[in-house]
Structure 1
């Protein structure tokens, strides 16, 4: 598994960006209705697929313009059995939509032939991304998520990425399910305003636990759906576990998860500030190679991330050249 993971293009050290907050963009900017905050039903209609193409093109174009790589992350965060049942999507249609999500991105990949890119099958938590609720055992999580991961394994997806994971047993199950299907996997944890997982576990302890119980199964870890202010000090003070974090998809908003749940208007923050936050993170975490956004972010934020992160890399290179041998 570790050999497979190390072949991922984004692990070469070059900067890759990905998209922003797909659900918030589709709802607030595109005016689309997403029941249960699920974007995957859009894959069932040509109108929905065209909205997704428009969304991904806006982000991939930024990457192409700035010479970075790009991670096409499928619109399938809630395309798993429990959520599908609530949306009246039967298992056969669910598998079809998961596979179609990758086909759509593969077609977009062909539209950007000069863009170095990878295709990621996105999976989300079985329950609420913000509230752990009834926590599954790793064995239960493995069986549950193997359904969606199995669908991705039959496609051209390069890896699977689990987004807004809020507890370690579920993360462990996801990694084992991916290992069972021979797919590289990324675990992206979400944290509260104190930098801890919603369960109260510290971020470092969560990463160390998942690594220990999966033989370092994840290709790398990420953080998403929290503002940099919420995890900056946790990362700055981090130990060796911090080196396992290679990606960030932060919120534009400083609101807590509870406040975001109640928000009726989009808080899109300040794109320039988002870029600066990422550049600052890269000053002490140079291994951050996958940068994107989450709630409230869009292609404007990703463009600022490109500008700031590339500037940070250039500044580091100049500093290294100026240091005495």
Structure 2
């Protein structure tokens, strides 16, 4: 994408919202059955597409009202070969699934926003294995080869960017970043951490970001933290260190529970939207470059609205 106030990569002062916890909202609040926690099969029916559209509508509307940008994710977190196999979707069919997801998102953008420059289409890449555990672990070279077909599908369908989400060990993140660079797509890397502020691999967030930068030539446009509550990583973000300035996005969980506790939960823990929003505001006061604001597991539009109230006045100017 080129030209316009919200061209990618965005300037440091351009604020973007994202959605909240897509899968947790669909399952726990909307009663939608998502085998393997995969939302991409919803694209196969008009009813499923409407459920996705109804989910995204309030988020995009809020971004328009706040005069900020919006990063519109494709519902493709599980659209890779390992998870596709569990859902009887072949690798060949996955290429069309991922391209269709980008086309669907672009159509939704065009229907809900008068200014397409405000809405960036983001191809979402999830982990090969479980987002909460380091399984199916690969080398960086293996990860690049594994994830490249999905990234290529996003490029062929004209996505604006790609994001590796819920990364829990550095090698997979490095491989995806390399794949995106080789295919000419801007990449964002989003790590998740445990309650001790470390990745599930045991590596510190600092080490994971610095190593990914070092081994990719600083190719990621920026980094994010997702799928963890602010209390889990607040102490891992010291002020004034160069590596923390690479973190520009935050998509926290609503709940302060551990990943293991969330994995065993049969009910949604929505946490406290107002408290979560205050924590976002406090982090932004320390890390003024934080400009991509959204949610992850357990969050819905109430949480994003509260984050806007805490971090953005009506004009959309960040505070």
Same fold (TM over 0.5): yes
CA RMSD of aligned residues (A): 1.7
Q: For structure 2, which runs of at least 5 residues remain unmatched after alignment?
A: 1-5
Partner of 2:63: 63
CA-CA distance at 1:311 after TM superposition = 4.7
1:159, 1:11 → 2: CA distance? 15
Tell me if the contact between 2:224 and 2:250 (Cα under 8 Å) persists in the aligned partners.
yes
Which residue, out of 116, 129, 132, partners 1:130? 132
1:76, 1:166 → 2: CA distance? 18
Are positions 1:113 and 2:87 aligned together?
no
CA-CA distance at 1:134 after TM superposition = 4.0
> Higher helix proportion, which one?
1
2:205, 2:64 → 1: CA distance? 33
Tell me if the contact between 1:189 and 1:222 (Cα under 8 Å) persists in the aligned partners.
yes
What TM-score comes out, normalization by structure 1 length? 0.92
Question: Any residues of structure 2 matched to 1:42-53 within 5 Å, and which?
Answer: 42-53=42-53
Partner of 1:222: 224
1:272, 1:285 → 2: CA distance? 20
CA-CA distance at 1:287 after TM superposition = 0.4
| Superposed CA offset, 1:142-193 (max 9, x none) | 0000010011010121010010000011111001111111100000000000
CA-CA distance at 1:7 after TM superposition = 5.7
Are positions 1:33 and 2:26 aligned together?
no
1:97, 1:314 → 2: CA distance? 37
CA-CA distance at 1:57 after TM superposition = 0.9
Partner of 1:263: 265
CA-CA distance at 1:56 after TM superposition = 1.0
CA-CA distance at 1:68 after TM superposition = 1.5
Tell me if the contact between 1:19 and 1:293 (Cα under 8 Å) persists in the aligned partners.
yes
Question: Any residues of structure 2 matched to 1:205-284 within 5 Å, and which?
Answer: 205-237=207-239, 239-284=241-286
1:93, 1:254 → 2: CA distance? 38
Are positions 1:310 and 2:312 aligned together?
yes
1:39, 1:276 → 2: CA distance? 30
From the superposition, tell whether residues 209 and 66 of structure 1 become closer, same or farther in structure 2 (CA, over 3 Å): same
Partner of 1:323: none
What TM-score comes out, normalization by structure 2 length? 0.94
Tell me if the contact between 1:62 and 1:299 (Cα under 8 Å) persists in the aligned partners.
no
Partner of 2:168: 166
| Superposed CA offset, 1:195-242 (max 9, x none) | 111111110011000000000010000000000010111113572100
1:274, 1:144 → 2: CA distance? 36
2:246, 2:13 → 1: CA distance? 13
| Superposed CA offset, 1:83-114 (max 9, x none) | 10110012232111111111111111112114
| Superposed CA offset, 1:231-278 (max 9, x none) | 111113572100000000000000000000000000011111121111
Matched residue SS, 2:269: coil
Partner of 1:292: 294
From the superposition, tell whether residues 199 and 237 of structure 1 become closer, same or farther in structure 2 (CA, over 3 Å): farther
Are positions 1:83 and 2:92 aligned together?
no
Matched residue SS, 2:250: strand
From the superposition, tell whether residues 310 and 43 of structure 1 become closer, same or farther in structure 2 (CA, over 3 Å): same
CA-CA distance at 1:310 after TM superposition = 1.3
Q: How many residues align?
A: 311
Deviates more, 1:255-264 or 1:89-98: 89-98
Partner of 1:147: 149
Q: 4+ residue runs of structure 1 moved beyond 4 angstroms?
A: 311-316
CA-CA distance at 1:9 after TM superposition = 4.9
